[in-house]
Amino acid sequence: MTGEEDAGSGRSAPATPGRRAGQRRQPASKAPGGLDRFLGEPRNAVLILLGAVLIVGGGRKIRQSLRARRAVGLLERPDVTPGAVEASAEHGRAALLELFRLLAEGKTEGVRDAAGHALSVLWARDEMIAEEEKAVVRRGYRVDWKARRRYPRGLRSEIPFVVDFGVPFLRSEGAGVRPSDLEWSYRVVGARRASLETFSPWTPGPCRAGFTVIPSDFDTDGPHKLVFQARVRSVGLTDAWEFDLPHVPFQFEFDPRVDVASLLAQFDESRGEAFARSVRLVKGSSEEGTDRSAFLPLNAALAVRDVPALEVTTPLPCDLAHAVEIEVSGVPGWHPAGEVVVTGQGGGGTRPAGGTLRVPLRPVESAAFNELDRPGARAIRARLVADPDRGWSYPDVRSVWPGTVVTDWCDVDVVRR
């Protein structure tokens, strides 16, 4: 019998064409599945790779966005710290509006300063447009007048005025725009000096403007108004711009009821002894001074080597605002040699605060010293004479010691110039 038997009936099945009798059925080849076919296409593999990149990159962007949102949220807290404010600069422009708000409304000086520095970091990274850069300068601009509001009408000496101005949160070290990246020009209106009403040359910041006014130039008691006007420009940054800053006025007046001598304190022997212990004349050192200040000229031919200096130890019972005079052995009389202005606690006036202050003597060329005709060893001493007019010129001076302070003799070496 040909063919295969039917398993169900036991009958023989007819032979299939193309297959011999007795040959076993071969399993049919399995066709590629849908996923295998999809992955086998090169174009589909590229799509999968691009999708993975988008997912990873999108996740990173989301994480960065969440971190930036948390950083901005910290800036909105009333107890935000300067450290958190400065750290927000790492998130770019996300914190820009909050930083501007804190620069204007921060509860503490530290927070306002940190906000300004963070904005300067964004500025240095070129993440601001020119108008935003100008806004940083305009909102951070500070002007500090150092002068009294009221002076005696009988004041004879010129009155010095000092104006510190600039953007105080810019730092010379570290990230961010630096003070030297901004240049300033200024003028002062109302001082009755033509030279002050012309804008000064451009100067890198931070800046200090110093000038004097003469009391007799003001024929009325006042009030008189001085107006400080400054302009600023960027130097070496991506955007170059220049603009005028808001004018800052300062009012002062002369009071005919105030006596110049009212600044003098009451004399007291115990305080006089304290001044005698606290003020002394010491020999200078050429290693400490510059070449120009190493000699104190006496006349056209002679000078003192190593300029002596007054040493003042603070605190003092009251303030010093005194003219300095010197006496040289062999030459009669006292001769002007500068000034010393020190507040009782060691600050203000012309010297910084701190335990012992050194005030070098100034050049004192005088016709009286023409009697000296040859070099040699000499002795020199100084005396301090109270000058209330000088005291009125410094706003930190409140109570001037009325007595005269005379130092001990100090040995010096007189040499030819």
Question: Is the pLDDT assigned to residue 35 strictly greater than 80?
Answer: no
Residue 184 to residue 168: CA distance in whole angstroms:
14
The number of domains in the chain is 3
364-404 pLDDT, tens digit each: 777 777 777 788 888 889 999 999 998 998 898 999 999 99
Domain co-membership, 236 together with 107: no
Contact 401, 318 (CB under 8 A): yes
Residue 74: phi and psi, rounded to 5, are -65, -35
Final residue belonging to a domain, choices 211, 238, 258: 258
CA nearest to 326, candidates 407, 386, 270: 407
Question: Is the pLDDT assigned to residue 122 strictly greater than 80?
Answer: yes
Domain co-membership, 94 together with 180: no
Question: Is the pLDDT assigned to residue 187 strictly greater than 90?
Answer: yes
Q: What number is the average pLDDT over the span 326-335?
A: 86
Domain co-membership, 393 together with 306: yes
Give the confidence band of 68 by pLDDT, cuts at 50, 70, 90: low
**Residue 230 is part of a domain; what is its CATH number?**
2.60.40.10
Distances (CA, A) of 321 to 259, 354, 366, 394, 397: 16, 17, 23, 9, 8
Give domain status of residue 29, yes or no.
no
Give 125: exposed, middle or buried? Use CB within 10 Å, 0-12, 13-18, 19+. middle
Residue 120's pLDDT is 92
Give domain status of residue 324, yes or no.
yes
Domain co-membership, 312 together with 396: yes
Give domain status of residue 17, yes or no.
no
Domain hosting residue 390, numbered range: 262-416
Domain co-membership, 326 together with 249: no
Final residue belonging to a domain, choices 98, 128, 158: 128
Provide, for the chain, the percentages of residues in helix, strand and coil under a 3-state DSSP scheme, each rounded to the nearest 5: 30, 30, 40
Sheet with 279-282: strands ordered across: 279-282, 309-313, 356-360
Final residue belonging to a domain, choices 240, 258, 276: 258
Domain co-membership, 335 together with 364: yes
Distances (CA, A) of 221 to 44, 143, 212, 224, 279: 90, 25, 17, 8, 38
Contact 244, 139 (CB under 8 A): no
Give domain status of residue 30, yes or no.
no
Question: Is the pLDDT assigned to residue 247 strictly greater than 80?
Answer: yes
Residue 169's pLDDT is 92
Residue 29 neighbours by CB under 8 Å, 6+ apart: none
**Residue 275 is part of a domain; what is its CATH number?**
2.60.40
Question: Is the pLDDT assigned to residue 61 strictly greater than 70?
Answer: no
Residue 397 neighbours by CB under 8 Å, 6+ apart: 263, 319, 321, 341, 343, 348, 349, 391
Give domain status of residue 200, yes or no.
yes
Question: Is the pLDDT assigned to residue 352 strictly greater than 80?
Answer: no
Give domain status of residue 19, yes or no.
no
CA nearest to 155, candidates 409, 414, 406, 394: 394
Domain co-membership, 236 together with 288: no
Q: How is 9-39 classified by DSSP, letter by letter?
A: T-PEEPPPTTS-TTPPPPPPPPPPPHHHHHH
Q: What number is the average pLDDT over the span 162-177?
A: 91
Give domain status of residue 328, yes or no.
yes
Residue 89 to residue 169: CA distance in whole angstroms:
15
403-417 pLDDT, tens digit each: 999 999 988 888 887
Residue with the larger pLDDT of the pair 252 and 413: 252
Residue 378: phi and psi, rounded to 5, are -140, 170
CA nearest to 399, candidates 316, 340, 278, 314: 316
**Of the listed ranges 113-127, 282-296, 390-404, the one predicted with least confidence:** 282-296
Number of other CB atoms surrounding residue 136 within 10 Å: 23
Domain co-membership, 404 together with 333: yes
Q: 144 — alpha (psi -120 to 50), left (phi > 0) or beta?
A: beta
Domain co-membership, 245 together with 385: no
Residue 377's pLDDT is 86
Residue 44's pLDDT is 61
Question: Is the pLDDT assigned to residue 245 strictly greater than 70?
Answer: yes
Domain co-membership, 363 together with 298: yes
Give domain status of residue 20, yes or no.
no
Domain co-membership, 252 together with 327: no
Q: What is the largest CA-CA distance in the chain?
A: 160
Contact 120, 177 (CB under 8 A): yes
Residue 366 to residue 377: CA distance in whole angstroms:
19
Angle 94-68-170 (CA atoms, 0-180°, nearest 5)? 55
Work out the mean pLDDT of the chain and round it to a whole number: 81
Residue 382 to residue 283: CA distance in whole angstroms:
12
188-235 pLDDT, tens digit each: 999 999 999 999 999 998 899 999 999 999 999 989 999 999 999 999
Domain co-membership, 58 together with 98: yes
